[in-house]
Structure 1
């Protein structure tokens, strides 16, 4: 059953890739870099989950549960790309991309992913929860940048784009809060969830975070771009 969920995820990533490529073929005034980032997320993520479905990307201690390190290899890149997409939305109509903020977001994300992997690999509960706490601090730092300086940058854009950023940031925040909660409830945490339920929830949440969120963000940008084109053409 766990393998079935993994292949379902790979299928969803393939569908997301095709959707973003179809939109890229008709960009509707949205820059190519937005589509490139959107496509890269499901392609990268789908490859790693295909490896998991084929029985690779795991390490097992003697007598202990297996650790899916491939999941963390996926998140290190795909989650960073999602933050890049959010930063692009925040600076969509601005001349500067604010690379320092983007570097801070990606750096915090990598620290969070590394802490999560170390928590899974830790031998005892004290080590697991220590690394989990460090990951939670890094996640809090990501949210602080998103809702602090990056939000201030987004406010300099036209109202529609500012609102698009707020909506995308709110959705990403809600989705990402789900990851540590599932980790805590799963086999790595208190064990309320079994391996199959843990995998299923991570699959559903990741599909929503990578394909669902990406589609939401791009759809808003495409809609705003079409409105601008109609306004320039003098049509209602």
Structure 2
């Protein structure tokens, strides 16, 4: 028995599919390049390479799914717009939930790159990542809602975006200024670039999943360009900025495997010597000899 899934009236064409596959290839190639660069670095200097490669790898899989017209659902549109030459009078529009799964993984990693660069404390990192996940979930629920209530979720997500911007522009900026040097320059460069692009995503959402103004092919181009700029170009800027930065300069004490083993052996030897010294300085108690007065 074969199951035939419901298809939306308004969905990507072969042109949109080709574009998604193109972005998929770009993300995959970028992942390979980043990993090749990572293996040219000591293990202690690969943190940002690994995080950034994870971002483009996840995006590669998501774009493969969207190029195959998978990971999507047909959703009733709020406005059919019969007079539009782009969307015409389609009753349903496909919404790629695969895109939101991608964002739920990659956007926290993008923020992690920035916050680690600025040397931000762990509680602030956790709070900012939570706000980011809150924003993505609101966007997904809004995209899957076919009534005007979608704009309530849009407002919640936008509020979270403004909170993230506040954290980056004020709290993280102060930490980066304290570090100074290359970390400060890298944070300013990458943070400004990412925030500028992230404020374009709500516009893309409003024109596509939200308002049904542009065709899914145009949606693919809009989101695809934003993702290329915020992931691939961001990766280049970040890794270039960190090319000569030591983890210690960011307050991260990352050891090589041999250094960890050496530290363990040293601590073990030290503990043994300390115990021996304690034994030598404190003679063991012996039973009193007969007739010995204590």
Superposition deviation, residue 85 in structure 1 = 0.7
> CA–CA distance in 2 between the matches of 1:66 and 1:201?
16
Which residue among 25, 28, 31 is the counterpart of 1:17?
A: 31
Residue 61 (structure 2) aligned to one of 20, 40, 47: 47
Runs of at least 5 residues in structure 1 that lack an aligned partner in the other structure: 92-96, 229-236
Q: Is the 8 A contact 2:20 2:224 kept in 1?
A: yes
Structure 1 equivalent of residue 274 of structure 2: none
Extract unaligned runs of 5+ from structure 2.
1-14, 77-90, 250-294
The count of corresponding residues between Structure 1 and Structure 2 is: 219
Give the distance between the partners of 1:28 and 1:177, measured in 2 at CA: 36
Question: How far apart in 2 are the matches of 1:167 and 1:28?
Answer: 25
Distance in structure 2 (CA, Å) of the matches to 1:87 and 1:199: 29
Partner in structure 1 of residue 134 of structure 2: 111
- Deviation at 1:83? 0.5
> 1:101, CA displacement in angstroms?
1.1
Q: Which residue of 2 aligns with 1:232?
A: none
In the alignment, what sits opposite 1:78? 106
Residues 184-206 of structure 1, C-alpha deviations (whole Å, 9 max, x = no match): 222x2333321111111101110
TM-score, scaled to structure 1:
0.87
Q: Secondary structure at the match of 1:148?
A: helix
- Measure, in 2, the Cα distance between the counterparts of 1:183 and 1:66: 13
Deviation by residue 1:23-68 (Cα, 9 ceiling, x = unmatched): 2122389722111101100111111221222232111146421111
Q: Which has the higher helix share?
A: 1
Which residue pairs with 2:93 in the alignment? 65
Cα displacement string for residues 91-126 of structure 1 (whole angstroms, at most 9, x for unaligned residues)? 2xxxxx5111111111011100001011111121x2
Indicate the SS of the match to 2:243. Answer: helix
Aligned partner of 1:149 in structure 2 is 171
SS at 1:103 equivalent: helix
CA distance in structure 1 between the partners assigned to 2:165 and 2:44 by the alignment:
26
Aligned partners of 2:75 and 2:141: how far apart in 1? 14
Q: Separation in 2 of the partners of 1:42 and 1:158?
A: 28
Cα 1:35–1:107 shift into 2, 3 Å: same
Which is higher, the Rg of structure 1 or of structure 2?
A: 2
Q: Distance in 1 between matches of 2:46 and 2:66?
A: 31
User: Structure 2: how far apart are the matches of 1:48 and 1:190?
Assistant: 23
Q: TM-score, normalised by structure 2?
A: 0.70
